[in-house]
Structure 1
Amino acid sequence: MWIAFGSLAAWLWLLLCQGFFWRTDVRLPAREEPAEWPFVCVVVPARDEASVLPESLPSLLAQDYPGRAEVFLVDDGSSDGTGELARELARRHGGLPLTVGSPGEPPAGWTGKLWAVRHGIGLARARGPEYLLLTDADIAHEPGSLRELVAAARTGGLDLVSLMARLRVESVWERLVVPAFVYFFAQLYPFRRIAVDGSRTAAAAGGCVLLRADAAERARIPDAIRHAVIDDVALAKAVKRGGGRIWLGLADRVDSVRPYPRLRDLWRMVSRSAYAQLRHSPPLLAGTVAGLALVYLVPPVALLAGLATGAAWAAAAAGGLAWVLMAATYLPMLRYYGQPRWLAPLLPVTAFLYLLMTVDSAVQHYRGRGAAWKGRTYARPDTALDES
């Protein structure tokens, strides 16, 4: 009974005191078009992205941006012809100027993506841009995306504007797992708190980050976060610690085109960085597992056990109310992704999958296969910022 009431208390606190994380109305803030549009360089790190590049790269090249803009795609040692495909797409579609570079293999202490970002930013800085748009190779932008990002940054005096790209939700497993991924992220990093000056909460979504070039230099991006596996959160923390103003919200005009048709694909996406998020700490892992069980698994167990035994009615009532609150807070995210409401009561099932993914992330870390991604393995990734 006390465990069930503890779960209910946790849900009441999450509902009212965690930055209203469950609301999905945090979108690009009010913006006005500037009198003079700044120069923007778009940096796209890409490793073996030939399957998604035909959908994403033309959308960047076709941006309806009134000012000067260039695209820098960094081919990070691809084996599928990503670089040459990018050049061919640029020849075929035209639009913004495209430069394709290659940084070579990353040295010790660097993740591959951040090494590619460093190379791309280096190429861009030679042009002297005011803003950098860091975007992934699987992200498609509607024609006015860059224009809206820059206008929002200028209007709000923001050093970093990031959008959580709308992920693909088509397969059965995507429907079950993907909306919950964004829901859990917002629960950890409430979007409303991120924008508050002086708040310790900082995060970004790596698929779409507009960053002032001078703020990047002050925060030593990407060198200061060169070993970060969860690079988007580390980037936002570095910018905010350097005095920058940041903002993160949900996207309306930015979409991921990468498919995750099987559970194995989604499992790998989550487990590669879950233990890094816990700073590779066994006590934090144990606390997270216990917390997930208390918050997400206890409510249905308490309700169903109480109904099945005909006893412990107080525990059953507390569990049932907690389950209702859980489903209610999940409904806005399901609506945002256009998914049916009947998926909301299944959130405990999804949470159990995430619990298993987190444990598997720790197991793979101690087997020396932590943070494996596209042929590279980072045995001991680190999300902490470099203080040197």
Structure 2
Amino acid sequence: MTLLAVMSLAIWVYLLLGHGRFWQSGPDLPHRHPATAPSVAVVVPARDEAPVIRESLHSLLAQDYAGPFHVILVDDGSSDGTGDIARALGDPRLTVLTGAARPARWSGKLWAVHQGIEAAGAADLLLLTDADIVHDPSHLASLLAQAESGGLDMVSEMVRLACDSWAERALVPAFVFFFQLLYPFTWVNKPSCRTAAAAGGTILVRRQALERVGGIAGVRGALIDDVALAKAIKRVGPIWLGHATQARSVRPYPGMGDIWRMITRTAYVQLRYSPLLLVATVLGMLVTWIVPPVVAMAGHGLGRLCGGLAWAMLALSYLPTLTRYQRSWLWAPFLPLVAAFYTAATVAAAINHHTGRGVAWKSRTYQANRA
């Protein structure tokens, strides 16, 4: 146990000092206006989004942006009247498309996005956003200003997620924290670093850059589509990833089961469906998250000291994210329990895959190497 505690402490020394300052919970997209106002097409893929689509579209149509912009909603086989709700808005800047049947080897969302981009004409930039995102009036202008100031081909944000139910308060801040751990934003934003990621709720991309990587068709089967697209774009130009202060998700996750299903959708995909990577990940999670509190409470001597220090370090690393989500710092010592939940969901995702149940989302099931 002492050796494991020493290993845990060494891991946390590295994470805090050498892992891209992932814990800092930044940067934020600044409020500002661009010097120019190029044309923008906003593409919204939507499947069964009736509870949230009206609010989302209203926010997009209310953007305070000096340039021409048009919103294209692609109704991806909704059965709840999503498309009818959108058409009822009657705004000439909004086009509602009925999505065509999904071809083989395409994920449902990316096929919808592809159709929206095809309908966008010659817009200079494309804003790809989810149907559950509500945007402040200044959001589009701020995204354009960020792209303009940095000469960026892609600007993306981790939008503020809903954090109202007990399950959301316990698990959602950790989702953001673990995403930052996987993809430190400072590394993503450094052109010389290979790390690339985006958050699918808000992705602004230059049309020319997208065309250089073969368009959405280049990542058509990806289930972690935002990261796949970011990797492709970063190969041809600089990208930026930060936190949103001008956009938020209104999709609720009222129970732990809802968050469990969200995690199992992509957790094993992230590991490339590899049993070896799964075993390595589980062992790594145990040493990084579970060993510190266990040894701190049940160990002795050097082991207890190292375990206690590692536990304190992981708790401290979580504080900026808790502050962002206005959660009490008392949640921080319990982060190992949340990590155990995420680890169990990853194992469940692997079991689903190897028993033939695949990845289920929006009433669709995907298998490895299939769409």
Give the TM-score of the pair, scaled to structure 2.
Answer: 0.97
Q: Does the alignment pair 1:49 with 2:49?
A: yes
Return the match for 2:351 from 338, 360, 363.
363
Q: Does the alignment pair 1:344 with 2:338?
A: no
Amino acid at match of 1:278: L
Deviation at 1:104, TM superposition (A): 1.9
Give, in whole Å, the separation in 1 of the partners of 2:217 and 2:192. Answer: 24
Query: Residues 106-125 of structure 1, C-alpha deviation per residue, up to 9 Å, x if partnerless?
Result: 1110000000000000000x
Deviation at 1:188, TM superposition (A): 0.7
Q: Does the alignment pair 1:267 with 2:272?
A: no
Amino acid at match of 2:116: G
Give, in whole Å, the separation in 2 of the partners of 1:189 and 1:370. Answer: 25
Deviation at 1:30, TM superposition (A): 8.6
Query: Residues 41-72 of structure 1, C-alpha deviation per residue, up to 9 Å, x if partnerless?
Result: 00000000001112211101111111100000
Report the number of matched residues: 370
Give, in whole Å, the separation in 2 of the partners of 1:264 and 1:221. Answer: 35
Return the match for 1:317 from 305, 326, 335.
305
Query: Residues 9-64 of structure 1, C-alpha deviation per residue, up to 9 Å, x if partnerless?
Result: 00000000000000023112696621x30000000000000011122111011111
Q: Is the 8 A contact 1:63 1:146 kept in 2?
A: yes
SS of aligned partner of 2:96: strand
Q: Tell me the equivalent position of 1:386.
A: none
SS of aligned partner of 2:246: strand
Q: Is the 8 A contact 2:32 2:141 kept in 1?
A: no
Q: Is the 8 A contact 2:33 2:144 kept in 1?
A: no
- Runs of 4+ that moved beyond 3 A: 29-32
1:123-162 correspondence runs (5 A): 123-124=119-120, 126=121, 128-162=122-156
Return the match for 2:249 from 250, 253, 256.
256
Q: Tell me the equivalent position of 1:183.
A: 177
1:236-247 correspondence runs (5 A): 236-241=230-235, 243-247=236-240
**Unaligned segments of structure 1, at least 5 residues:** 307-311, 384-388
Going from structure 1 to structure 2, the CA distance change for 1:334 and 1:162 (only over 3 Å counts) comes to same
Q: Tell me the equivalent position of 2:100.
A: 104
SS of aligned partner of 1:372: strand
SS of aligned partner of 1:132: strand
Going from structure 1 to structure 2, the CA distance change for 1:103 and 1:30 (only over 3 Å counts) comes to closer
CA RMSD of aligned residues (A): 1.3
Going from structure 1 to structure 2, the CA distance change for 1:6 and 1:276 (only over 3 Å counts) comes to same
Amino acid at match of 1:208: T
Amino acid at match of 1:64: D
Give, in whole Å, the separation in 2 of the partners of 1:44 and 1:69. Answer: 13
Going from structure 1 to structure 2, the CA distance change for 1:382 and 1:6 (only over 3 Å counts) comes to farther
Amino acid at match of 2:266: S
SS of aligned partner of 2:200: coil
Deviation at 1:198, TM superposition (A): 2.2
Amino acid at match of 1:251: A
SS of aligned partner of 2:311: helix
SS of aligned partner of 1:52: helix
Q: Tell me the equivalent position of 1:165.
A: 159
Q: Is the 8 A contact 1:31 1:156 kept in 2?
A: no
Q: Is the 8 A contact 1:4 1:298 kept in 2?
A: yes
Q: Does the alignment pair 1:300 with 2:301?
A: no
Q: Tell me the equivalent position of 1:309.
A: none
Q: Tell me the equivalent position of 1:10.
A: 11
**Unaligned segments of structure 2, at least 5 residues:** none
Give, in whole Å, the separation in 2 of the partners of 1:287 and 1:221. Answer: 34
Q: Tell me the equivalent position of 1:335.
A: 323
Amino acid at match of 1:340: S
Q: Is the 8 A contact 1:22 1:187 kept in 2?
A: yes
Query: Residues 293-330 of structure 1, C-alpha deviation per residue, up to 9 Å, x if partnerless?
Result: 00000000001112xxxxx2211111111000000000
Give, in whole Å, the separation in 2 of the partners of 1:166 and 1:32. Answer: 21
SS of aligned partner of 2:199: coil
Deviation at 1:176, TM superposition (A): 1.0
Amino acid at match of 2:62: A
SS of aligned partner of 2:203: strand
Amino acid at match of 1:252: T
Q: Tell me the equivalent position of 1:115.
A: 111
Give, in whole Å, the separation in 2 of the partners of 1:261 and 1:29. Answer: 31
Q: Tell me the equivalent position of 1:85.
A: 85
Deviation at 1:105, TM superposition (A): 2.2
Give, in whole Å, the separation in 1 of the partners of 2:33 and 2:49. Answer: 35
Deviation at 1:237, TM superposition (A): 0.3
SS of aligned partner of 1:150: helix
Q: Is the 8 A contact 2:106 2:220 kept in 1?
A: yes
Q: Is the 8 A contact 1:53 1:138 kept in 2?
A: yes
Q: Does the alignment pair 1:234 with 2:228?
A: yes
Q: Is the 8 A contact 2:99 2:112 kept in 1?
A: yes
SS of aligned partner of 1:200: coil
Q: Is the 8 A contact 1:371 1:381 kept in 2?
A: no
